Amino acid sequence: MDNRVIIGGQWGDEGKGKVVDALSEGVDWVIRYQGGANAGHTIFIGEQKHVLHLVPSGILRPGVKCLLGGGMVIDPWSLRDEILALEQRGVEVRGHLQISASAHMLMPYHQRLDELREGRLKRQSIGTTGKGIGPAYLDKVQRTGMRMGDLRLPPEHIERKGIEKILSANELLSEFYQADPLPSRVLAEELVVLAKFLAPLIVDPHQVLRPVREGRETALFEGAQGTLLDIDHGTYPFVTSSNCTIGGVLTGTGLPPKVLGEIDGIFKAYLTRVGNGPFPTELLGEEGETLREAGGEYGATTGRARRCGWFDLPAARYAVDVNGITGVIITKLDVLDIMPTVKVATGYELDDEVLDYFPVGSGALSRCRPVYREFPGWDRPSAPCRALADLPSAARKYLEFLEEQLGALIIGVSVGREREQMIWTPTGVTT
């Protein structure tokens, strides 16, 4: 198995967790490179459901080493709770999980500031997950953040640094937002306790990744969110605060480009979005509701109903281009089993023009009206299929069209939430 990057090709929730779990057998490392507990990756192993927010999806494969990369923002309280919850379910975490010392620490005031900022924006709010992601990355770029490596300092230093940061955030909370200050001493003492728990897992990423850099160990790079939520390349300002695209793998791990290997883009057979912002192929009526129920489209982090719509080819081609995606994995094909017809946007109408590309930014995109191509639904379910040849011919025609239009091979098709509901098609779906 070669190194691979797993990147969300849409607005997140494409099924990255399921794909990483499926591909992680036999790899040495699974490395998360950006984001924080805004991610929700749901994985079913038999009847056992795991929802991972910070811990990489490779943790469910015994023996795989997992790293929380330097590009992440990590809430130590959430991380401790996630580790303990996994261990309670019999998953061995400590011993497999390592944390980059350069990852930033997400503190309770980041979460509070996220909520308050969203509240002030009212109708223009982004619809964040409320996990404090934007404020934590803001502290990182304005060079006022704490890093996970700080948890290796002596307890009195951690406490002093914690109090200093909380007091400074309290000024903002009370003076700008007229909100209650946070209890600095209590939280700083909690941080000292968390440091005892987490410090043994904190590592120097440059040292532990040496075997990956030198080609002696293999790695799977697990993305969170998706291309259209990328801070630079997504539908700004309705995006998250990190680089979910390919550049984030380099900055978020400190590894050079030559070790990345194949770049796989994960795309749902239709499209969803959580939170606000433009979504040209959104289905606001009954069809959208049908997709939501069939696909179980409710957020794994916030429980919010996901907005649902048809596959958007200009957006997907954009994701292929931006990331240099070489292999496409289509997930949730089975959710379309019940649809009498399936539509794909091949372009947009914008003012008097027809566009075949994805316009940058949210302004133009919000005025785009999709131009659809329609496909007949299939006559039998795809969910029981385990080989390309077993798939209903109408489903295959749909996949062949996507492959041709995307200009990248479809190397896998997921037809259910279980590990084995996966069809690998390394030479593509077009015969």
Q: Indicate which residues carry an active-site annotation.
A: 13, 41
Q: Which residue has the tokens 């200093």?
A: 164
Is 292 a binding residue for ligand GDP by CB under 6 A? The answer is: no
Query: What is the C-alpha to C-alpha distance for residues 146 and 192, in angstroms, rounded to an integer?
Result: 14
Query: What is the C-alpha to C-alpha distance for residues 119 and 117, in angstroms, rounded to an integer?
Result: 5
Is 335 a binding residue for ligand GDP by CB under 6 A? The answer is: yes
Is 8 a binding residue for ligand IMO by CB under 6 A? The answer is: yes
- Encoded one letter per residue, x for contact with ligand GDP by CB under 6 A and - for no contact, window 385-424 reads -----------------------------xxxx-------
Is 227 a binding residue for ligand GDP by CB under 6 A? The answer is: no
Residues sharing a CB contact under 8 Å with residue 355, sequence separation 6 or more, in sequence order? 314, 347, 348, 349, 368
Q: Please, which residue, 150 or 230, has the CB nearer to ligand IMO?
A: 230
Stretch that binds ligand IMO, among 101-109, 147-155, 218-226, 320-328 (CB under 6 A): 218-226
DSSP-based three-state secondary structure for 264 = strand
Partner in contact with 417, chosen from Mg ion, ligand GDP, ligand IMO, none, beta carbon below 5 to 8 Å by kind: ligand GDP
Stretch that binds ligand IMO, among 19-27, 123-131, 205-213, 340-348 (CB under 6 A): 123-131
Question: By the 8 A CB rule, do 24 and 57 touch?
Answer: yes
The closest alpha carbon to 226, from 284, 165, 183, 268, belongs to: 268
Is 240 a binding residue for ligand IMO by CB under 6 A? The answer is: yes
Among positions 32, 61, 112, 131, the unique one binding ligand IMO when judged by CB under 6 A: 131
Stretch that binds ligand GDP, among 11-19, 78-86, 114-122, 183-191 (CB under 6 A): 11-19
Cα-based distances in Å from 108 to 6, 125, 195, 227, 252: 30, 20, 15, 27, 23
How many beta carbons lie within 10 A of that of residue 357, not counting itself? 12
Minimum distance between the CB of residue 293 and ligand GDP, rounded to whole angstroms? Answer: 12
Question: By the 8 A CB rule, do 267 and 408 touch?
Answer: no
Minimum distance between the CB of residue 192 and ligand GDP, rounded to whole angstroms? Answer: 33
Stretch that binds ligand IMO, among 8-16, 94-102, 164-172, 387-395 (CB under 6 A): 8-16
Q: What is the DSSP letter of 357?
A: S
Minimum distance between the CB of residue 263 and ligand IMO, rounded to whole angstroms? Answer: 17
Query: What is the C-alpha to C-alpha distance for residues 15 and 80, in angstroms, rounded to an integer?
Result: 24
Partner in contact with 131, chosen from ligand GDP, ligand IMO, Mg ion, none, beta carbon below 5 to 8 Å by kind: ligand IMO
Question: By the 8 A CB rule, do 140 and 147 touch?
Answer: no
Query: What is the C-alpha to C-alpha distance for residues 252 and 70, in angstroms, rounded to an integer?
Result: 5
Minimum distance between the CB of residue 199 and ligand GDP, rounded to whole angstroms? Answer: 29
Minimum distance between the CB of residue 15 and ligand GDP, rounded to whole angstroms? Answer: 4
Residues sharing a CB contact under 8 Å with residue 188, sequence separation 6 or more, in sequence order? 158, 159, 160, 162, 163, 166
Backbone angles phi, psi at 417, to 5 degrees: -80, -15
Contact positions vs ligand IMO (CB under 6 A): 8, 12-13, 38-41, 126-129, 131, 133-134, 224-226, 229, 240-241, 274-275
Contact positions vs ligand GDP (CB under 6 A): 8, 12-18, 40-42, 44, 296, 300, 331-332, 334-335, 414-417
